Chain A
Amino acid sequence: MINFQNIKKFDGNYYFKRVFSEITRKHSYSIALFLLGFPVHVVTYFLYLLKKDKNLYVPLFAQMKQQFISEGKVHAWAAEYRLQEQTKAAFFNKSLNERQLDLVVNQLTEQKLHREIEKILTKDGLAKPSYKSYFSELLGNPLFLVLSFIPGVFMYIFLILCSNAFSRFIVERLVQSAFVIVGVATLVFTILYLSPFDPARNLLGIEATPEQVANFNKIYGLDQPYLVQLWHSLSGLFTFDLGNSFEGKENITQSIMNKFPVTLEIALLSLLMAVAIAIPVGIISAVRPNSFADYAFMFIALIGLSIPSFWQGLIFILTFSLKLQWFPATYNPHNWLSIVMPVVVLGTSITASIARMTRSSMLEVIHEDYIITAKAKGLSERKVITKHAIRNAMIPIVTVIGLLFGGMLGGASVTEKVFNISGIGSYIVDKQFIPDIPALLGGVVYIAITISIVNMVIDVLYAFFDPRIRSKMKKS
């Protein structure tokens, strides 16, 4: 591997050529390369058009075609195809119309002619001229590389990134995430834009004069066309400047920045609790399937999955705050006891999901052949489970944890409302009645971005840690 890379570095001229012909097999990559190296391509395409006529391929092709026709081969093929089509129609009991038949036969004959000629020409080392092959030739020329390096710097960086399976995977994943994030922002904005509600009327009251309403709409840019508003929202989202909210006129980015850590803290603690409880429980259940402990754990897990979080919160407040007075009923950042109940409530369903997932994943792994091998080697059961089973069983679990984390951030709004926590979830719910478009957009999109990034990081980490994914990437 190391050796191979060294060779690549030494032989710089062929390096780019090789990568180029490798990745342009995919259509999307060709487009990306064309866009990134646009200034270079403008010049080279012009040169290509000039050179095209000098190529030997075109006249030779015409000559061969004449030859085939004069030899009568084309005629024979046509008769063959005609017979074939007629037999086919007879078999399926379909009537054939003469003109259609001629059309199909001509098409098939033409295709065959092209194939045959190309076969002969490639044998002689002549390829059909295409811009792709021309550009690929140029990339092998050191002089061209030096000349085009400055205008085509993005294209070359892209080529370097794509030369390696890992970095290509990461680039692909990054582009995908960026696309998803922009898509999410556009979607949420469009939904809010289509809203029949009028924030101005809701805020100013029914007595507001038309001038006041028009003024309000002008201040917040609500009178502008869809695309302009969309552009403002998107640029606001990515420059972290969403302006002021309709109600209260506070800076939206600032309020989201203040509220997000609260939600994130509770969500992360819940996740920690879930992992700490669910994974041992799942492993115990899988190691002793169909035992009493297994049934009991899985029953409790299913209850945890079925319990509505707001009701669980209410019951917790009723028992632990009102009756037993162990924990305060509402959240207070200065009292760590008050965070216990929200964390447990938010983490319950994810704990249950992870426990069930761990159990099924472990059960699948335990029945694999290599576990039997490990047992046959005489390893103790403890060692088989801890060394061989858990590590492999964890792979799907971590992916699921990433996905569940997203659901948890979304579900936080309900828990936050029950415990009166001023996090991002309750912020979104409070803002939806007007509807306060920029605030809602910011809240929802920033949560979606967080989730996308978390999932992307997990995917990328896998590419490094899981040998199976690694070998799959190399093969493709």
Chain B
Amino acid sequence: MKFISNVKLLMKITQEYVNAQFTIVFSAIFSVLFLLNSFNFADGVWRPYVLGLFIIYVATTLYVWVATWQIKKDLAKHREIQKRTRLLGYPLMLTVVVGNVFAAGFGFMLATKNKTAEYTFAIYAFITQIFIIGISALNLFKPYVVDTFLFAMGAFLALAVFYAVMAILVARYVTASNAPKWMIPLGVVLLLPTLTGNLFSLLLGLTLIKKARNTDPSAVEKWQKIWNKILRNMMAVFGMFFIIFMFSLSVVSSWTFDYDFAVQNNYSALLQTPSLDYPLGTDNFGRDLFSRIVFGAQISLIVGFFSTIIPAVIGGALGAFSGYYGKNTDNIIMRLLDILYAIPGILLAIAIIAAFGANTVNLIIALSVGAIPTYARTMRANVMQIANFEFVESAKALGVSDAAIIFKHIVPNALAPMIVKATLTIGGAVISTSSLSFLGLGIEPHIPEWGNILKVGSTYLETNAYVAIFPGLCIMLLVLSFNFFGDGLRDALDPKTN
């Protein structure tokens, strides 16, 4: 290992130190937010729960600050973090209970010296599971729960324990380049919880199997390198965490949440303010806002996913043909796509919906059509570059057909920018979905969707502002997460930084 004499430089490359600074900033921001919300200015009374959260967050901030100071001292004196300092990470893991994912993540990171991508996957799988248990547990305050509730909660708890055990095992036995053979069955078992939407578990399982089999070391190294780059970027990790959390929540919500609370009118509880029964209050028909928002995530993710994947496939194929064949093919395809490109996406969507009616399928089609040209342009530029490489020439000389050259040799190498673009545009699709629903042009009004909830909220802005605030916050957080994750992916996959 290289000897680094400059302490400042050492601090910069020590992941724990950078991580700690992020944790301090975010914990402090949340503390301030809780403090501002702990006092009800209208009635002049304190809100004890929020005040309690504020105290815990401030304490966490101070604790992390002390830990940072300790790390700094270690680095100056010993050039590495001492075992005693690492012990400070354990109590921080408990902050996951109050939802401080920043501090908890930092605690897990500080606790071990052996940080592999698998370890990060394992702890975030664990944190995701704990969050889902916490969110689902709020249903206990409802008059009744769905039949599958107890069973589902039990399964979630078992999964959480399993992930925690996995994290310990991974920290002990998995190194940067290989994993013991007995990890293969565990990896296969880890693929099963994918059914609950916990994609961290899927990633952990796949990586473990790949590493333990060790049939293709160069592929393992490449995979590891990319993930290490992504996981170094704290914001990308949090973005990924929030996306997977939302996805998992929308998958499991039908087992722990009652859809009736979200759609059935309840005239005895109109426009209630937030309480334990209704954590985010109720709307003008007495429907529980919390359940509505949880089920709204499903729609947003489905529309966001399909209106990204459809134009990516169509636009990608058109762009690949256009870039590979060039000349007239290129001219015809790109000039026709220029027409689509000239109409702003949302206006085209409005025109299509005006013609064919407002429903989910039409919305997906409308958003997809407008996004085709950008994907085609990205793909075309990549394919044009890659088509000049020697391996394409040699494939041609061996008499491989054009279709095989395009889809077997060129497209897989041109995929990275498309993945980045897709991640960054899912956020845009989520915003467009809710914007169009807000205008009455998107999802049917009876379906709980974030834009629909906001539309109701906009009419009660003066008296019951929370109806409009919470769904908007959710949209923003989800889109922000996609953007952070996309930025991280771009930095990791960009050939310029390699």
In the assembled complex, which residues on chain B have CB atoms less than 8 Å from the CB atom of A411?
A: 344, 346, 435
- Interface stretch, picked from B62-70, B72-80, B194-202, B476-484, is B476-484
Let me know if A345 is at the binding interface, CB within 8 A.
no
In the assembled complex, which residues on chain A have CB atoms less than 8 Å from the CB atom of B480?
A: 302-303, 306
Complex Cα distance A317/B461, Å? 9
A56-72 at interface with B (beta carbon < 8 Å): none
Q: Which residues of B does A touch, CB under 8 Å?
A: 335-336, 338-340, 342-348, 350-357, 399, 427, 431, 434-435, 438-439, 441, 454, 457-458, 461-462, 465, 468-469, 471-472, 475-476, 479-480, 483-484, 487
Let me know if A357 is at the binding interface, CB within 8 A.
no
Complex Cα distance A191/B454, Å? 29
In the assembled complex, which residues on chain B have CB atoms less than 8 Å from the CB atom of A270?
A: none
Count of chain A residues near B, Cβ 8 A = 50
Complex Cα distance A184/B340, Å? 7
In the assembled complex, which residues on chain A have CB atoms less than 8 Å from the CB atom of B469?
A: 315
Of the A-B pairs whose beta carbons lie under 8 Å apart in the complex, a sample of 29, sorted by A's number, is: A92-B399, A180-B338, A183-B338, A184-B342, A192-B355, A302-B483, A303-B480, A306-B427, A306-B431, A306-B476, A306-B479, A306-B483, A308-B431, A308-B434, A308-B472, A309-B435, A310-B454, A310-B458, A311-B472, A314-B458, A406-B344, A410-B347, A413-B347, A414-B439, A429-B441, A432-B441, A435-B354, A444-B347, A444-B350
Let me know if A397 is at the binding interface, CB within 8 A.
no
Let me know if A79 is at the binding interface, CB within 8 A.
no
Q: Which chain A residue has the least Cβ–Cβ distance from B437? A: A310
A288-334 at interface with B (beta carbon < 8 Å): 302-303, 305-311, 314-315, 317-318, 322
> Shortest beta-carbon distance, A434 to chain B, in Å?
9
Contact, CB under 8 Å: A314 / B441? no
Q: Which chain A residue has the least Cβ–Cβ distance from B434? A: A308
Most-contacted residue by chain B among A305, A310, A440 (CB, 10 A): A310
In the assembled complex, which residues on chain A have CB atoms less than 8 Å from the CB atom of B347?
A: 410, 413, 428, 444, 447-448
Contact, CB under 8 Å: B350 / A413? yes
In the assembled complex, which residues on chain A have CB atoms less than 8 Å from the CB atom of B431?
A: 306, 308
Let me know if A409 is at the binding interface, CB within 8 A.
yes
> Shortest beta-carbon distance, A270 to chain B, in Å?
15
Q: Which 10 A/B pairs are nearest by Cβ-Cβ distance?
A: A410-B344, A311-B472, A432-B354, A183-B339, A195-B355, A306-B479, A306-B480, A435-B354, A410-B347, A410-B346
Complex Cα distance A411/B431, Å? 11
In the assembled complex, which residues on chain B have CB atoms less than 8 Å from the CB atom of A197?
A: 355, 357
Contact, CB under 8 Å: A310 / B461? no
Let me know if A151 is at the binding interface, CB within 8 A.
no
- As a 0/1 sequence over residues 389 to 417 of chain A, the CB contacts with chain B under 8 angstroms (1 = contact) are 00000000000000000110111011001
Do A305 and B339 contact each other (CB < 8 Å), given the known contacts A192-B351, A311-B454, A410-B344?
no
> Shortest beta-carbon distance, A374 to chain B, in Å?
23
In the assembled complex, which residues on chain B have CB atoms less than 8 Å from the CB atom of A314?
A: 454, 457-458, 461, 468, 472
Complex Cα distance A196/B357, Å? 9
Taking A176-B338, A444-B350 as known contacts, 13 extra A-B pairs with beta carbons closer than 8 A to each other, sorted by chain A number, are: A183-B339, A187-B343, A308-B435, A315-B468, A318-B468, A411-B346, A413-B347, A413-B350, A413-B439, A417-B439, A418-B458, A429-B441, A440-B351
> Shortest beta-carbon distance, A215 to chain B, in Å?
23
In the assembled complex, which residues on chain B have CB atoms less than 8 Å from the CB atom of A191?
A: 351-352, 355
Q: A413 touches which one: B336, B346, B465, B484 (CB < 8 A)?
A: B346
Contact, CB under 8 Å: A187 / B340? yes
Do A310 and B344 contact each other (CB < 8 Å), given the known contacts A428-B350, A432-B441, A440-B351?
no
Q: Which chain A residue has the least Cβ–Cβ distance from B455? A: A310
Q: Which chain B residue has the least Cβ–Cβ distance from A415? A: B435
Complex Cα distance A145/B115, Å? 81
In the assembled complex, which residues on chain B have CB atoms less than 8 Å from the CB atom of A318?
A: 461, 465, 468
> Shortest beta-carbon distance, A447 to chain B, in Å?
6
Contact, CB under 8 Å: B343 / A448? yes
Let me know if A366 is at the binding interface, CB within 8 A.
no
In the assembled complex, which residues on chain B have CB atoms less than 8 Å from the CB atom of A433?
A: 354
Complex Cα distance A302/B490, Å? 15
In the assembled complex, which residues on chain A have CB atoms less than 8 Å from the CB atom of B434?
A: 308, 310
Contact, CB under 8 Å: B344 / A451? yes
In the assembled complex, which residues on chain B have CB atoms less than 8 Å from the CB atom of A447?
A: 344, 347
Let me know if A452 is at the binding interface, CB within 8 A.
yes
In the assembled complex, which residues on chain B have CB atoms less than 8 Å from the CB atom of A183?
A: 336, 338-339, 342
> Shortest beta-carbon distance, B356 to chain A, in Å?
6
Contact, CB under 8 Å: A179 / B439? no
Q: Which chain B residue has the least Cβ–Cβ distance from A185? A: B339
> Shortest beta-carbon distance, A220 to chain B, in Å?
16
> Shortest beta-carbon distance, A402 to chain B, in Å?
12
